[in-house]
């Protein structure tokens, strides 16, 4: 089984897919792809139907798009409990996961990652400012506070036990760190920033950071 990923320094979707695959406990190898130049993009299109990463190659099939990979992993490795067991909690976890998968466009635009704006390491950028970004950050804070207040008694993650939702919000935590965003400015009472720190301290994320090439 192979997971084709982009640069570990800034490929946020690759990080999400890789974290989910790591949690399955399955044996897989990662294959590095790049997409800075036209030639690299053309080469990526040879292995990725959409031209994007991550892509999972399994049993002669390709699964592209992070959410599809995550759902495949949850179905294929039920013992990894990648989604919450309770159907209502699972629906909430899927909702917040879908929200980051298809939304938060201002956060992505104003806090975009790249070779000079890495989600790993000590480099930091100036905090951007825009009303649309403020709205996205207020939503992130409210979502984190709401879920942590509700499920905090069941464990340290967004829905108590670790789930795919935590993988999907790890790059958000990395953006908060890189762009030096003070979540208190966006309605945090400390709950969201504590959760952000927890995401950044995950051993899998630390491993990803150490494997990232500058
Ligand atoms: N909806 C896709 C988005 C994947 C995506 O945007 N991947 C970026 C890297 S983080 C990419 O492959 N970019 C290639 C390019 O811009 O040419 C998913 O969830 O996997």
Structure confidence by residue, pLDDT tens digits, 12-34: 999 999 999 999 999 999 999 99
- CA of residue 159 to ligand 1 center, whole Å: 26
- In order of 44, 62, 102, the CA distances from 49 in angstroms are 9, 8, 19
Q: Give, for ligand 1, the residue of 4, 7, 13 to mutate: max count of ligand atoms closer than 8 Å to Cβ.
A: 13
Alpha-carbon gap, residue 209 to 205, rounded angstroms? 6
Ligand 1 in reach of 52 Cβ (< 6 A) = yes
Alpha-carbon gap, residue 28 to 195, rounded angstroms? 29
Selected from 1.20.1420.20, 3.20.20.210, 1.20.1050.10, 1.10.510.10, the CATH number assigned to the domain covering 87-211 reads 1.20.1050.10
Ligand 1 in reach of 82 Cβ (< 6 A) = no
Mean pLDDT of the 29-54 span? 96
pLDDT band for position 99 (cuts 50, 70, 90):
very high
**CA nearest ligand 1 atom 17, residue:** 35
Q: State the pLDDT at residue 139.
A: 98
Mean pLDDT of the 85-101 span? 98
Q: Within 10 Å of residue 83's Cβ, how many Cβ atoms? A: 24
Would you say 167 and 70 are in contact if contact means Cβ atoms under 8 Å apart? yes
Q: State the pLDDT at residue 76.
A: 98
Q: State the pLDDT at residue 188.
A: 98
pLDDT in tens, 109-132: 999 999 999 999 999 999 999 999
Of 192, 6, 79, 89, whose CA–CA distance to 200 is shortest?
192
Alpha-carbon gap, residue 175 to 113, rounded angstroms? 8
**CA nearest ligand 1 atom 13, residue:** 52
Q: State the pLDDT at residue 64.
A: 96
Q: State the pLDDT at residue 169.
A: 98
Question: Which ligand 1 atom sits closest to the C-alpha of 65?
Answer: 20
Considering the domain delimited by 2-80, tell me its CATH architecture.
3-Layer(aba) Sandwich (3.40)
Q: State the pLDDT at residue 133.
A: 98
Residue 158: CA count within 13 A, CB half-sphere = 27
What are the extents of the domains in the chain?
2-80, 87-211
- In order of 115, 126, 166, 198, 203, the CA distances from 206 in angstroms are 19, 23, 15, 11, 5
Q: Give the pair of three-digit tokens for residue 27.
A: 């044996």
pLDDT band for position 52 (cuts 50, 70, 90):
very high
pLDDT, averaged across the chain? 97
pLDDT band for position 191 (cuts 50, 70, 90):
very high
Ligand 1 in reach of 13 Cβ (< 6 A) = yes
Ligand 1 in reach of 170 Cβ (< 6 A) = no
Q: State the pLDDT at residue 214.
A: 64
């Amino acid at each position: 089984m192979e997971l084709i990923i982009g640069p570990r320094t800034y490929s946020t979707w690759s990080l999400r897919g890789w974290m989910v695959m790591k949690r399955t406990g399955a044996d897989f190898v990662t294959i590095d792809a790049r997409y800075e130049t036209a030639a690299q993009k053309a080469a990526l299109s040879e292995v990725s139907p959409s031209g994007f990463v991550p892509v999972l190659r399994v049993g002669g099939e390709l699964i592209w798009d992070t959410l599809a990979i995550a759902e495949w992993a949850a179905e294929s490795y039920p013992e990894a409990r990648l989604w919450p067991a309770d159907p209502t909690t699972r629906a909430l976890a899927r909702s917040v996961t879908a929200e980051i998968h298809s939304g938060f466009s201002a956060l992505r635009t104003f806090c975009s990652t790249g070779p000079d704006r890495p989600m790993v390491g000590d480099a930091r950028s100036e905090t951007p400012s825009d009303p649309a970004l403020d709205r996205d950050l207020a939503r992130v804070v409210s979502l984190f506070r709401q879920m942590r207040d509700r499920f905090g008694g069941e464990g340290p993650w967004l829905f108590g036990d670790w789930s795919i939702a935590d993988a999907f919000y790890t790059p958000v935590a990395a953006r908060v760190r890189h762009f030096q965003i003070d979540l208190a400015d966006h309605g945090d009472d400390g709950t969201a920033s504590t959760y952000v720190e927890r995401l950044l301290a995950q051993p899998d994320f630390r491993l990803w950071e150490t494997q990232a090439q500058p």
